[in-house]
Structure 1
């Protein structure tokens, strides 16, 4: 029996996912949490094999930090991302944090069942659109932003200036400018506004206005 914990700040999402998963004889939902903090406080007691976690959970700890701490404190418990976000930056950060898989919320039930089973076995699993995006990166590595470049561009898109960005990332403003120069070259633009627009269009960073 695969023991699963659901972590999402929307009760209706958790309820729907629970209903879908519990139609399967080999999957049991052993607990739910609406925040990363709540997840970490109860995961040791619930002892799931797999935690299905969203990336954006309102105030408090986000999905990436939740996954990092979960994998650090309970390395035997796998984390599967279940989210609407499919940008390069989100995918890379989730995998770097230790997620075993990345599934989009518009996935069919059969895909979700397969992802949960594979993730619980410790096998990497990606939704087809996510896998396609990663394959595209591998085929065009010269056009792919590094995780740091994508992070810097996404922070700039949210309104953070160079000085604040350097403070948050513990790097100098000169280093920020160097990263931006590389970003502009890769995207074929000559300024941050154009870079943000192109990166949003290509799905490299999130559309800040749509959030």
Structure 2
């Protein structure tokens, strides 16, 4: 059933890339509408054996039915590749995910929001310092406290980075734990914690929702652009 939902996806992506208005889709100039070859079943098995985790079913079937990565939301879907005999995901920020933690459950809760708010309330402001060096030192110390809360490797255990939106904004696929199979946004560069993507009905977005939703929106963008050149 999962394989069927991907029927025709490669053809639809190629059709978008062939349209003159394909460049109107955000991020398309980066991925160029190119999809990498799918993984073989043996390659997928090797990847999962090395990481110690069974990937979500819709993502597994995408990898073997559509592509290992390439054209996709924003600047593209980070590809899974074998490098020197080891499997990894490649892309801007892909190394934020620790492969050794993929089998560990993704945390049900992030840092206490009250603790984060309290820390944000004492974030140094440059105008409060007479010397820029003093401000830099205070900011460095504050950044270390912030990073220890939101950028600790344990915060993203059980998750892998699948997409880069620009400006250090990324999206993650949860592969272990109670949130397994859902996609989360990562606005930590803007002093916020990770949060699940939700659909119009408030339901968590799965990988298939995420990718196929992007494909439908891309087709609509290209259609409108072609209708109003």
| Common fold by TM > 0.5 | no
Pairwise TM-score range, normalised by the shorter structure: under 0.3
Q: TM-score, normalised by structure 1?
A: 0.26
Structure showing the higher helix proportion among its residues: 1
Structure ID, larger Rg: 2
